[in-house]
Amino acid sequence: MLSRLLRHPVALIIGVVAALFALYEISVRFLAYTADAYVMSDIVVISSQIEGPVSRLAVQNNQPVAAGDLLFEIERTPFALKVQEAQATLIQAQADLGLAQDEVRAATANITATQAVQTNAQSQLARVRTLSGEGYSPEASLDVATRDVATAGANVLAAQAQLAVASQRVAVATAAIGSAQAALAKAQYDLSKTVVTAPEPGRIAPFTTRLGDYLSAGSEVLALVTERRRRVVANMGERHLARIRLGQRVLLTLGSDPWVLHWGRVSGIAAGVARSPHNPRVIPYVEPTTDWVRLPRRFPVEVTLDGWPPGLGLFHGADARVLIWF
């Protein structure tokens, strides 16, 4: 039969291809391999929360830093002036409140005085009426007493109105103090953000920001590569997903440590990927083509090594190769 196949090379080639294809289809039922894998860890992107020119850069590319180390500073003078302005506004608002409270006290005392005058005028009117009825007081005295009561009542109403106005001024001054306190807190917060420190230990990834660059709020300045959650992300074909389980043993190699086999376990399986790179990057997008070849849809599978090789260090984005068996 072999001699017949040798006489028909086309049939031989087709047979070899079919055999290799069958062998591949059988192997993928038991093995999942990918060279599309890379080393990752958590990256903290350090952004500016305020705007202004960079006045100091305290780190360099690839420099290790500890939590709390200074990274960079933004020119603080404008923000310090805003703090002083907010403090002055708060002092003014507090003084206005004091004046308004003094007005309330004065208006309250005035009401007491006018009410006393009113009470006295009403008593005088009652006496004059009694005497007038008995014929001992002239009609003119009754008119004067009646006028005094009316005047005293008007003065009481005016004093009460003054108290209402003074009370409103207290409310306005109190609100102004609250607004000034909020403005001062915001100014102090912005001033504190002129100094940016490392939130946790790591290494500074190469960055392009330079001294004097003007930053806007939200500008990404540099990235801190931490060693938190060191892992390998393997983009596995969708045909393997149904058989991959959390905790499965994994054999892998690292591009930064070639020809050395490492053991790990599956620690995460992506629930989904974006179908287009133009979608919001809330979920990962895995390029479905490589070297002009269309590939099956692939999903990121995270692998955690049993133990990171001593002294190897972490190289974020370094290549890896992963083999999973079912």
Residues 233 and 295 grouped into a single domain: yes
What are the backbone angles phi and psi of residue 128, rounded to the nearest 5°? -65, -40
Share above pLDDT 90 across residues of the chain, in percent, rounded to a whole number: 39
Specify the pLDDT at position 214: 94
Specify the pLDDT at position 266: 93
* CA nearest neighbour of 29 among 237, 204, 191: 237
Cα 47 from Cα 34, distance rounded (Å): 35
Residue 280 has pLDDT above 90, yes or no: no
Is 233 a domain residue? Answer: yes
Residue 62 structure tokens = 């690839």
Residues 63 and 211 grouped into a single domain: yes
Residue 82 has pLDDT above 90, yes or no: yes
Radius of gyration of the chain (CA): 42
The CATH number covering residue 146 comes to 1.10.287.620
Element (H, E) at 314: none
Sequence-separated (6 or more) residues with CB below 8 Å from residue 41: 225, 226, 227, 228, 229, 230, 231, 314, 316
Sequence-separated (6 or more) residues with CB below 8 Å from residue 121: 145, 148, 149, 151, 152
Mean pLDDT of 222-239: 89
The CATH number covering residue 229 comes to 2.40.30.170
Is 200 a domain residue? Answer: no
Specify the pLDDT at position 49: 93
pLDDT tens-digit map of 108-158:
887 787 777 777 777 766 766 666 655 555 655 655 666 766 777 777 788
Specify the pLDDT at position 296: 73
Q: Quick check: 286 and 295 in contact, CB under 8 A? A: no
Sequence-separated (6 or more) residues with CB below 8 Å from residue 284: 270, 273, 274, 300
Specify the pLDDT at position 114: 79
Residues 94 and 162 grouped into a single domain: yes
Q: Residue 64 carries which side chain, given as an amino acid letter?
A: P
Specify the pLDDT at position 110: 79
Specify the pLDDT at position 284: 73
Q: Predicted confidence band at 92 (pLDDT cuts at 50, 70, 90)?
A: very high
Specify the pLDDT at position 119: 77
- Spacing of C-alpha 98 from chain mean position: 38
Specify the pLDDT at position 233: 93
Is 13 a domain residue? Answer: no
pLDDT tens-digit map of 193-204:
999 999 999 999
Q: Predicted confidence band at 22 (pLDDT cuts at 50, 70, 90)?
A: low
Domain boundary among 155, 175, 195: 195
Residue 95 has pLDDT above 60, yes or no: yes
Cα 46 from Cα 173, distance rounded (Å): 40
Element (H, E) at 57: strand 52-57
Q: Give the mean pLDDT of the chain.
A: 82
Specify the pLDDT at position 109: 83
pLDDT tens-digit map of 156-181:
788 888 888 888 888 889 999 999 99
* CA nearest neighbour of 191 among 85, 58, 71: 85
Overall domain count for the chain: 2
Lowest mean pLDDT among 12-26, 97-111, 189-203: 12-26
Q: Predicted confidence band at 20 (pLDDT cuts at 50, 70, 90)?
A: low
Residue found by looking up tokens 């620690």 in the block: 267
Residues 86 and 185 grouped into a single domain: yes
Q: Which residue has the higher pLDDT, 189 or 105?
A: 189
Residues 220 and 169 grouped into a single domain: no
pLDDT tens-digit map of 233-279:
999 888 888 888 999 999 999 988 888 899 999 999 888 877 777 76
* Domain range for 35: 31-67+205-325
- Count other Cβ atoms within 10 Å, centred on residue 44: 15
